[in-house]
Amino acid sequence: MTAKEIREKYLKFFENKGHKRIPSAPLIPENDPTVLFTTAGMHPLVPYLLGENHPLGKRLCNSQKCIRTGDIDDVGDNTHGTFFEMLGNWSLGDYFKKEAIEWSFEFLTKELNIPLEKLAFTVFEGETENNIPKDEGAFNLWQGLGVKPERIAYLGREDNWWGPAGSTGPCGPDTEMFYWVGEGEVPEKFDPSDKKWVEIWNNVFMQYNKTADGKFEELSQKNVDTGMGLERTTMVLQGKSNVYETELFTPIINRISEISGKQYEENTKSFRIIADHIKASVFILADGLVPSNTERGYVLRRLIRRAIRYGKLLGIESAFTGEIAKVIIAMYENVYPELKENQEFILNELQKEEERFLTCLDRGLKEFEKINMPIISGEEVFNLYQTYGFPLEITREIAKEKDKEIDEKGFQEELKKHQELSRTASAGQFKSGLADDSEQTTKYHTATHLMLAALRQVLGGDVQQKGSNITSERIRFDFSFERKLTPEEIKKVEDLVNEQIKKELPVVCREMETQKAFDEGATGVFGHKYPEKVKVYSAGEFSKEICAGPHVENTKTLGVFKIIKEEASSAGVRRIKAILQQ
């Protein structure tokens, strides 16, 4: 069964169970500084998991593109990848454990035709310190479907608890499904530590909300969030030993072989890292992010440069990332049309980043060779980072290959000194907080809508949101614009926003067809593919934006809007920091 067939079979199965198919959200989370990227299918649905009404109802399903950076060092093994697709279905206060478990069982055994004897399951063992009971309900449901008790294991929080996606938010116990990939007879008793059992599906029962002080509160709306990794499921159903042998990677692997003249079997680590990292980079670029030295942009830069470095190890001397990207775009453009729509941007950014790094890579490697000590000092590591563009991870990797160590603590101290000097030379810093639905954060969220509308009036309608980080203390907002704003332009934006606040505009939410929303002048997030119906928040006639909320009811509650800083974020992207004063 192909990945395409699995994806479509899954979505149609849940559509037949009353679910509405929704498009994948962007990889860059909107208004959430607690994570850098969308890490799971539930992440973009947090407002609805907390009680907001979704325009398409209480049952949803989709294939969500995801990035998990915690696995970067594991890339190259059989199952880990930076980018992956998560097939998911959700109940927003509708069905709960019984239906979720029964439908999972039906899909695995009937739709995918997996023999029951090749499946095993885990459930949550409970946690007395947080007063969370043992999940006997899930255990009994699996047993009622014919699963033998010895094929069900109770595990703790580290294994059978999911969430929240960031520091706070919806979370709960889960039940996981495993597939036997070993040869010979399947063991009667399930041992979760046996690597021949591969997890393919996870049903999360979102019963709790984790608060900022670490407490777990019962949710009034209990939800189901499920996730099945497409890459891993394709691998096990095709009987492959690793994800790189499936059609989700083989076209990329073949192109790398053509470019390098090397064989995959003799250079598996290099091939896998290049394929994974360029794929992840293509999808991140498709959402409008560009490489930089901070936060998400740094992750993107790290991925591209690590791929380039492994290309050099394969003997590739010329620029090649764009050629790999073309293969990836062709593979996925029918599922994620934003790749084709933004192909020129993706290829241009890859070319620019590759040119930047190639100009200093050889010089940096020569500088590395001059270091004769077994431990590379923090100053030398920082020099490689600052002068030659070597991300810390690349220096660490090269050092390990040469049986050297690096002084990471010293590097961090050097980096901190550099950052402090940069701060001294600019206008102050504000501590960051966590995205939440508090009253103050809600005010900042609404003020951000007014600010974007004002920016578009002052600077032109081509201005697009490129990212935001909204806390209870300030707005940080990235937008497309090529140059520094003048003091006059900044004042015009401030004045426009404050005029709307003084007008005491009602903030109204309407549900409508997506095309109608755009026809009426609503703005949306770059790269975001919206479902057929959306929520549109309007502040009078001044601002109209597709958004999930939360928002204040009237602009009069916002106070006085003040821009405290305007600076470059990355090439062609500016950043504003702003506050509300009461």
> How confident is the model over 224-254, as pLDDT tens digits?
999 999 999 999 999 998 899 999 999 999 9
> How confident is the model over 44-75, as pLDDT tens digits?
887 888 788 899 999 999 999 999 877 666 67
Q: Which residues pair with residue 60 across a beta bridge?
A: 20, 90
Distances (CA, A) of 571 to 201, 328, 493, 580: 40, 24, 22, 28
pLDDT of residue 9: 97
> How confident is the model over 142-185, as pLDDT tens digits?
999 999 999 999 999 889 998 776 678 888 999 999 999 998 89
Q: Which residues pair with residue 86 across a beta bridge?
A: 64, 229
Task: State both tokens at 92.
Answer: 């927003």
CB neighbour list of residue 581: distance below 8 Å, 6 or more residues apart: 559, 560, 562
Examine the pLDDT at 434 and tell me if it is beyond 60: no
Q: Output the pTM of the full model.
A: 0.74
Q: Which residues pair with residue 320 across a beta bridge?
A: none
Torsion-angle region of residue 148: left (phi > 0), alpha (psi -120 to 50) or beta? beta
C-alpha to C-alpha distance for 552 and 327, rounded to whole angstroms: 46
